[in-house]
Amino acid sequence: MLLSLLYLNFNNSNGSLSFPVFLWQPRMGFVSTDSTQFIIINDGDGYGYGESAFYVNGWNSYWLMMESVWSSSRSKVSEMLKRGSQMGLTVCRTWAFSDGHGPDALQVSPGVFNERVFKGLDYMIVEARRNRIRLILSLVNNLVAFGGKTQYVKWAKEAGVNVSSSDDSFFSNPVIKDYFKAYIKAVVKRKNSLSGVRYSEEPAIFAWELM
């Protein structure tokens, strides 16, 4: 069974009707647990009703969001997820963060986001679901690359917060912890611009990796 989502937008300037999104997505059951076993709660998605075992057979492609930002490279993302599905893989771990400055930064300052990059993340999630791949989304880097905890500490210092010089202030300073909590909330509550599904309600997201 397929779900179709149709969005109609009226152009106020000339009264014309446009169709910016016409998206078909396969239905997916959510992954849950039964004791030590992952299971999928089926709800008539073509695989019957009831429960079925789910096995994690996965890989890491950290770069999917960055490549999804630009239309010229989105085909790489689609192809990677398609090949993963064809090989029988089920889960992909990838970045849902990029902190700091630059054209690919998702969070440019605490609580301030680049919508264009967020839409790249939207695209990646939609493509994962289209290929029946589930995602583990990592939310910050322990290393310096893509900002990471170092960028959070830098933001706090720039705001005049009294923090130690150690990047490990990320784990203890209440202001920095609030920065990160706010980031997590913004991502989890995000409504996908392509599918209209909130990330918190997206069955293609298998798990969240805090760091």
Q: What is the pLDDT of residues 51-70, one digit of tens each?
A: 889 999 999 999 999 999 99
Average pLDDT taken over every residue of the chain? 88
Q: What is the pLDDT of residue 90?
A: 97
Beta bridge partners of 92: 59, 135
pLDDT for the residue 43: 57
- Is pLDDT at 171 greater than 50 in this prediction? yes
Residue 87, token pair as written in the block: 């090989």
Domain residue extents for the chain: 1-55, 56-209
CB contact set of 100 (below 8 Å; sequence gap of 6+): 107, 108, 146, 147, 151
**pLDDT confidence of residue 47:** 52
Among the four given CATH numbers 3.90.226.10, 3.20.20.80, 3.10.450.50, 3.90.950.10, the one describing domain 56-209: 3.20.20.80
pLDDT mean over 117-135 = 97
pLDDT above 90 for 48: no
Sign of the dihedral defined by the CA atoms of residues 192, 195, 200, 203, in that order: negative
- Kindly report, residue by residue over 79-104, the tens digit of the pLDDT: 999 999 999 999 999 999 999 988 89
Predicted local distance difference test score (pLDDT) of residue 54: 94
